[in-house]
A and B are shown apart, each in its own frame.
Chain A
Amino acid sequence: MTEDDDVMDRLRHIATEVDPPPADVVDNARAALSMRRIDEEIATLLLDSALETGVVRGSTQDVRLLSFETSSVSVELQAEVTGDRMSLRGLVTGAGGDVTIEAADQRRTVPVDAEGWFTARDLPRGPTRLRLRANDGRAVTTSWTLL
């Protein structure tokens, strides 16, 4: 074994001791398999204001605009972040029904009003997706986004 391999092994040993993936990270990764949605239409992310250049942000409060779309349905989403919590306000075009917000290990279902709006407050931040269950029985799921 070369001297380099020796040092690398020591570093790996140290990292395993002081900075391993936390147990809850592994548990959540294992649980990710149950999040699979088979045969549902995925609304892909078209626009994310946080990835555009030149967007002015407040220092403590951050409003992020996202837009998801399938061929028939679109969702405009406004995420307002305060600390480690956030509020969502969205506009659905092309379908009515209700929206389920999946964030961390919790789900919350809110109705879409007659104009297409929905609101959900005090949600945890982290990987999030929305599932629209339309009145006509269709279901559309957005891709996962880190909010």
Chain B
Amino acid sequence: MDTEALLAAATAGDQTAWNALVDRYTSLIWSIARGFRLSSTDAADVVQMTWLRLVEKFDRIVEPERLAGWLSTTARRECLQLIRRAGRTREVLGVEHDVDVTDPAPPVDDRLLRDERDAALWRVFAGLGERCQRLLRILMATPPPGYGEVADAVDMPIGSIGPTRQRCLNQLRDLMLAEQGQS
């Protein structure tokens, strides 16, 4: 079923349709929160707030076909508010430099990765600048998000998502080569 039909059914109280929406988009919302380097507790709160806001505003979703974009925008705002409330006042978006003053989430345990190449890639990923980490982390959602909702999640024009992704992946590749050169 497409998103519009699921939303219409969920709005009418259909739990199965709602579950399908949750299964389709929770990974995206979680990835946005983790892209903002929130701890898992804070990320869980952002996911829940985003879904609760949708339930609260069911009747006011004016463009049901853009639900993914609405969820992404809502999740980004919840992340920014949470960061701001925590006293982290730096404007985390729109600034070109990559000085990291937010509290980074504890590093994800790469020992879970049995493939040494994957473990190395994940370690190198943590060395990327904040903006690249955010964009790529959001793009890692399952199913892969469209550039439209990614643009909403990072508040960038949709036309710059592709080029920025390319630039970030080039940086990742350079870091990878540098690490391989060292070992």
Binding site for B on A (CB under 8 A): 4, 7-8, 10-22, 24-26, 28-30, 32-33, 35-36, 42, 50-51, 53, 57, 126-127, 143-144, 146
Whole-angstrom distance between the Cβ of A13 and the nearest chain B Cβ:
7
Please give, as numbers and ranges, the residues of chain B lying within 8 Å of A50 by CB-CB distance: 84-85
B30–A21 touching, CB < 8 Å:
yes
If A11-B125, A14-B122, A18-B122 touch, whether A32 touches B48 (CB-CB below 8 Å) is yes
Interface segment among B62-70, B90-98, B104-112: the answer is: B104-112
Q: How many residues of B contact A (CB 8 A)?
A: 56
B56–A28 touching, CB < 8 Å:
no
Smallest CB gap from B58: residue in A? A36
If A18-B113, A19-B108 touch, whether A127 touches B52 (CB-CB below 8 Å) is yes
Residue of B29, B30, B48, B84 contacting most chain A CB atoms (<10 Å): B48
A26–B22 touching, CB < 8 Å:
yes
If A7-B169, A29-B51 touch, whether A146 touches B121 (CB-CB below 8 Å) is no
Q: Would you call the interface of chain B mostly helix, strand, loop, or mixed?
A: helix
B23 sits at the interface (CB 8 A): yes
Please give, as numbers and ranges, the residues of chain A lying within 8 Å of B23 by CB-CB distance: 26
Report the bound CA distance from A72 to B35 in whole Å.
Answer: 41
If A22-B40, A25-B47, A146-B45 touch, whether A30 touches B22 (CB-CB below 8 Å) is yes
Interface pairs (16), CB distance under 8 Å: A7-B173, A8-B139, A11-B121, A12-B142, A12-B144, A14-B121, A15-B142, A18-B113, A20-B27, A25-B43, A29-B51, A32-B54, A36-B58, A51-B81, A57-B87, A146-B78
Please give, as numbers and ranges, the residues of chain A lying within 8 Å of B109 by CB-CB distance: 18
Q: Would you call the interface of chain A mostly helix, strand, loop, or mixed?
A: helix
Report the bound CA distance from A12 to B121 in whole Å.
Answer: 12
Report the bound CA distance from A24 to B165 in whole Å.
Answer: 31
Please give, as numbers and ranges, the residues of chain A lying within 8 Å of B140 by CB-CB distance: 8, 11-12, 14-16
Please give, as numbers and ranges, the residues of chain B lying within 8 Å of A13 by CB-CB distance: 118
- State which of B47, B112, B113 has its C-beta within 8 Å of the C-beta of A29: B47
B34 sits at the interface (CB 8 A): yes
- State which of B81, B121, B166 has its C-beta within 8 Å of the C-beta of A10: B121
If A16-B142, A21-B30 touch, whether A146 touches B19 (CB-CB below 8 Å) is no
B44–A22 touching, CB < 8 Å:
yes
